[in-house]
Chain A
């Protein structure tokens, strides 16, 4: 048969393809709910359990399902939302009083127990929650951890932790509980704005301390929206208005969180009108975005901070003058303008401008572009003749690393090579193995709007993201003093002194501060994207008649 009618067969196949294409064409299946809900693009969240969510996408979805204890005003000061009041006399024992009348989406009233249970679950080490470090200031946290007696590689399993509940959490009555910290911390109220501090309903647990199977695919929260169906992995998450919500009412009836693997694909859908909001326009599309979107392309500050670190085990960078010279050889303005088309701004401080206590140019003269001086200092300090910059290729880093290399080559007369590793963890593996990686590309977004959220994780000796191994006793002491300070003002003073030590030591080179460069469709208005790169779901509204 194949031999006899090849032409017809080919034509037939083509016809079938076209027919199949044609007859299902045109029909759009999401027209039913597009009328009163908005579509916002995200990436696939890693988790939708509050205490296990540490990335933006999950955090964004949870923000629609849960109502936080505090949120942040225009001055980045925490203000109570689900909490009636949060008070403390000594910054050690904090009393949280909840607003009455709130219920979970399944009808359960929100009580102090819901918070205590959720936090205990999050802090208990065997649950392996990604956000567990948020509870580490609460008294008793260490007893919920367990150290593997023979290290990770050993055959023995870690013993069960000593306790299952945090001694620092105490219920006073149904709507009141106290949080006792292991050491006073003036910024605690701000910390509780993070999604690790959302409550979980009783229905979330199949037994005390055991999360119910399937809860994550349809989380039940206390927020303005409830799940509509399940989490359609890699596809979408739909939420609809929760009628009994007692807090600030949102202006749209539902949100479809549409999941994208590729930011460019999302941008194409934004321009084509299939997505209403994209919180970060990809670099490749920025040049044409203002033409595509007009005044629907907007900017707002966010907390991201891009920098390069000097691994301390690399001898050639141990002289601080070498580090300073490299920093002075970089033309940050040119980089943000030419490579990032002003979507990022030059960084000349060690904390982001979005936190109180930020001082512009705390880095001083060493972050000012001065190639002549840089060259002089570099030669005098005996800097290496070849500089490597290691970065991960799964992020958009090659362009600026190459540009930075070209700047270093021109200014310092050295050879400079950008080395791409497939992913961030590959880079870390090389750093841990003390390989000659050169400068390493790093970035940070804050957990809460305090200077400490940068200084602690990035520069303290035990900092979770201090991959370069910077260690300064003076810095650690000032940081601790700041955290223990009586008032936020005192804390900031100490933290600023700590930052001055960084400016002197230059363990990292600040490069850029991020911005939200977001776009939206003509169906929506009042779109704003906050410091945490999340769309404000309470403000966004549909344009009438569209």
Chain B
């Protein structure tokens, strides 16, 4: 087990460099005219273009730019964004609120998904199952660009249950509505996977055995069925944690949260390589650590799974 973890940590280092390289390369490929992208609709002067191009090495070849970046990164310097701000400052502003939002969202989503998934898996084609199916369809068919503003309008403005926007230093309370909206992105898959896994495991031999042994229905479901059903669900939750951090672009915009998704979006649209890669490098670490934890959880959930 210890050796397994050690090996995974070593792989992480390689993956980290691989991922940052690829993302840097993608940003480079996406780079047409960052100076104009930064200026938006406004015209820019030749001298300004010249200065910015030189300051950020925009005219140098890809590998050279990457080398400058990595040299900085290895000394703990994330560099400066094209807007002149230190990227480490931007990350210190953005990460805390995004982590809060993503964790809240995943807790809400996983709680709802697993509870509802288990119930509808036990009583397939029952009323509860059909109601959750319809709700799932509604969520699925309203893309987040529609759902998020709608939620803000109804619950934030018209009913006034929640603050309509959250902001950078948002309280948990202000983040609750955005987290519910964000969680709805992933709740559908988690719910349906839980439901199918529970339904499947209910028919497994060991359940019959357990029931035959005279165990109570609750214990059968709690111990045997749920435990075996959680493996795919835990996998999904693991992937979703990272996805919710990077993919909250719309939700963060709608609720005015200047978090990671917002910064990635800004970096991508202004062709700001260092900014995007800086955020991605942390994001990759999140994915790697979470996926390692998930893999270890497999062994905890199913004793038959062993890591050498």
Q: Please state if B50 and A265 are interface contacts (CB–CB under 8 Å).
A: no
CB-contact partner of A234 in B48, B168, B255, under 8 A: B168
By the criterion CB–CB under 8 Å, are B111 and A17 in contact? Answer: yes
Instruction: Say yes or no: is A130 at the interface (Cβ < 8 Å to chain B).
Output: yes
Decide if A425 touches B45 in the complex (CB within 8 Å). no
Asked if A425 contacts B36 (CB within 8 A), the reply is: yes
- With contacts A24-B172, A27-B171 taken as known, whether A274 is within 8 angstroms of B164 at the C-beta atoms is yes
CB atoms of B167 and A26 under 8 A apart = no
Q: Are A20 and B36 in contact (CB under 8 A)?
A: no
Task: Please report which residues of chain B, range 8-59, place their CB below 8 angstroms from some CB of chain A when the two chains form the complex.
Answer: 32-33, 36-55, 59
A424 touches B41 (CB 8 A): yes
Contact A3 B254 (CB under 8 A): no
Q: Which of B94, B152, B226 makes the CB contact (< 8 A) with A6?
A: B226
The answer to the question of A539 belonging to the interface, with a C-beta cut-off of 8 Å to chain B, is: no
- In-complex Cβ contact of A3 among B55, B160, B223 (8 A): B223
A residues less than 8 Å from B110 (CB atoms): 13
| A272 touching B114, Cβ below 8 Å | no
Check B48 against A129 for contact (C-beta < 8 Å). Answer: yes
Q: Please tell me if the beta carbons of A7 and B36 are within 8 angstroms of each other in the complex.
A: no
In contact, A274 and B163 (Cβ under 8 angstroms): yes
Q: Nearest Cβ in chain A — how far from B286, in angstroms?
A: 20
Q: In which size bucket is the chain B interface? A: 35 or more
Given A152-B50, A233-B93, decide whether A265 and B255 contact each other with a Cβ distance below 8 A.
yes
Contacts of B163 in A (CB 8 A): 272, 274
With A46-B83, A268-B153, A425-B32 as contacts: A126 and B51 at CB distance below 8 Å: yes
Residues of A within 8 A of B176 (CB): 21
Contact of A10 with B165 in the complex, beta carbons under 8 Å: no
Complex CA–CA separation, A129 to B39 (angstroms): 12
B40 touches A146 (CB 8 A): no
- A423 in contact with B93 (CB, 8 Å): no
Cα–Cα, bound, A78→B46 (Å): 30
Interface residues of B in 79-112 (CB under 8 A from A): 83-85, 89-90, 93-94, 104, 107-108, 110-111
Residues of B within 8 A of A457 (CB): 43
Indicate whether B149 reaches chain A with its CB closer than 8 angstroms.
yes
Query: Are the C-beta atoms of A268 and B157 separated by less than 8 Å?
Result: yes
With A128-B47, A235-B169 already in contact, the answer to whether A265 and B269 are too (CB < 8 A) is no
- Total A-B residue contacts, Cβ distance less than 8 Å: 176
Q: Which among A133, A264, A429 has the highest number of chain B CB atoms within 10 Å?
A: A264
Instruction: Let me know if A295 is at the binding interface, CB within 8 A.
Output: no
Residues of B within 8 A of A268 (CB): 152-153, 156-157, 164-165
A395 to B153, CA, bound (A): 22
Residues from chain B with Cβ under 8 Å of A269 in the complex = 164-165, 256
Query: Which residues from A are CB-within-8-Å of B104?
Result: 17, 20
- B230 interface residue (CB < 8 Å to A): yes
Within 8 A of B (CB), among A379-423: 394-395, 422-423
Is the Cβ of B172 less than 8 Å from the Cβ of A20? yes
- Interfacial chain B residues near A4, Cβ < 8 Å: 222-223
Closest Cβ of chain A: how far from B228's Cβ, in Å? 9
A161 and chain B: residue at smallest CB distance: B47
Contact across chains for B153 and A235 when beta carbons are under 8 A apart: no
Q: Please, which residues of chain B bring their CB within 8 A of the CB of A29?
A: 169
Interface string of B116-148 (1 = CB under 8 A from A): 000000000000000000000000000000000
Q: Check A476 for interface membership: any CB of B closer than 8 A.
A: no
Question: Contact between B93 and A234 (Cβ–Cβ < 8 Å)?
Answer: yes
Decide if A128 touches B301 in the complex (CB within 8 Å). no
Is B40 within 8 A of A429, CB to CB? no
Residues of B within 8 A of A145 (CB): 46-47
Residue of A whose beta carbon sits closest to that of B104: A17
Tell me the bound Cα distance from A265 to B59 in angstroms.
38
Tell me which residues across on chain A come within 8 A of B223, comparing CB atoms: 3-4
Contacts A10-B111, A153-B59, A274-B164 known; A128 to B52 CB distance under 8 Å? yes
**What chain A residues lie within 8 Å of B301 (beta carbons)?**
2-3
Query: Which of B108, B114, B171 is the most central at the interface, judged by chain A CB atoms within 10 Å of its CB?
Result: B171
- The reply on A443 being an interface residue by CB < 8 A is yes
Asked if B108 and A17 make an inter-chain contact with CB atoms under 8 angstroms apart, the answer reads yes
Cβ–Cβ contact A424 & B173, under 8 A: no
Q: Is B253 in contact with chain A by the CB < 8 A criterion? A: yes
Footprint of B on A, CB under 8 Å? 2-7, 10, 13-14, 16-17, 20-22, 24-27, 29, 46-47, 54-55, 125-130, 132-133, 145-148, 152-153, 157-158, 216, 232-235, 259-262, 264-266, 268-269, 271-272, 274, 394-395, 422-426, 428-429, 443, 457, 464-465
Can you list 14 A-B contacts (CB < 8 A)? A2-B300, A3-B222, A14-B111, A24-B172, A126-B51, A127-B51, A130-B45, A152-B53, A233-B258, A260-B256, A265-B164, A265-B165, A272-B164, A464-B45
B positions within 8 Å CB-CB of A: 32-33, 36-55, 59, 83-85, 89-90, 93-94, 104, 107-108, 110-111, 114-115, 149, 152-153, 156-157, 160, 163-165, 167-169, 171-173, 176, 222-223, 226-227, 230, 252-256, 258, 262, 269, 271, 300-301
Give 11 A-B pairs besides A47-B84, A423-B37 with Cβ atoms closer than 8 angstroms. Answer: A3-B222, A3-B301, A25-B171, A27-B171, A47-B83, A128-B55, A130-B44, A132-B45, A152-B59, A425-B33, A457-B43
- When A and B form their complex, which 4 residue pairs have the shortest distance between CB atoms, in order from nearest? A128-B51, A234-B258, A125-B47, A25-B173
